[in-house]
Structure 1
Amino acid sequence: MDVVFDELHRRVKSYLATVKNVAADGGNEAALVIARDELPLIVDAFDALFGGHIPDDNGHCRQCHRAGRWWRRRRVPCRVFLQAQIALFHPVGHGRHALTRAEL
């Protein structure tokens, strides 16, 4: 693998692990700091990631369409968007998610 990618990947994984650990195991004050300081950055990262994963006039994902052949175009919601939906609303091993559709 690419050395630059490896380092970027390691940094993102480490950052997210730290945020997750502090939110889960830290005190109330630490969790508040995470919510106020880090959560907006994470939301901005999600927005940047999903920015191109929107449908074109034919209902195909604009971002995934660029990466694939014309005969294998992905419909929206694409895999990237579906994986995020599953991770956010149906997390494995975390029991029932705190947010429900009614609360959104």
Structure 2
Amino acid sequence: MSNMVLFGELRQRLDEHLDLVSRVAAEGDAGSALSVMRQDVPGLVAALRVFADEHRPDENGCCRKCRGGPFWRRVAAPCRMLLNALLASGAATTTTREHGWFRPRGHRSCES
């Protein structure tokens, strides 16, 4: 039970800190936003890199972190965590649009 209390407290602190950083970046003046950028962005980037490193594919192309269980339940890389992080940061959308990799196509039954 104490682990859940500790987890809840840590999660609440993280959520409050991220809310503060987001609010200052979106609504703060230039000086405040610059200060937040210099103090917090390197730590946020480092945290995302830790998650990305944990979710690298193994020699079979499966996510190292999500691969638990039998071989038929292993998650192919990129796993859902990495995709969610990319989509939330906007990196995937920007990258695919800039490089022209993403070409939406219609459903097979609709193509002629």
**Equivalent residue, structure 2, for 1:77:** 78
SS at 2:56 equivalent: coil
Q: Which amino acid letter does the alignment assign opposite residue 18 of structure 2?
A: L
CA distance in 2, matches of 1:89, 1:35: 17
**Equivalent residue, structure 2, for 1:19:** 21
CA distance in 1, matches of 2:88, 2:28: 22
Query: Please, which of 20, 44, 47 is the counterpart of residue 46 of structure 2?
Result: 44
The alpha-carbon deviation at position 88 of structure 1 amounts to 1.4
CA distance in 2, matches of 1:86, 1:42: 16
**Equivalent residue, structure 1, for 2:109:** none
CA RMSD of the aligned region, Å? 2.0
CA distance in 2, matches of 1:16, 1:65: 29
Q: Deviations over 1:19-67 (max 9, x none)?
A: 000000110000100111110010011111222101111100001113x
| 1:33 and 2:15 correspond | no
CA distance in 1, matches of 2:71, 2:13: 35
Q: How many equivalent residue pairs?
A: 94
CA distance in 2, matches of 1:5, 1:53: 22
Q: Which amino acid letter does the alignment assign opposite residue 24 of structure 2?
A: V
The alpha-carbon deviation at position 70 of structure 1 amounts to 2.9
Question: TM-score, normalising length from structure 1?
Answer: 0.81
Aligned-pair identity (%): 40
The alpha-carbon deviation at position 69 of structure 1 amounts to 3.6
CA distance in 2, matches of 1:61, 1:51: 10
Question: For structure 2, which runs of at least 5 residues remain unmatched after alignment?
Answer: 99-112
Runs of 4+ in 1 over 4 A off after TM superposition: none
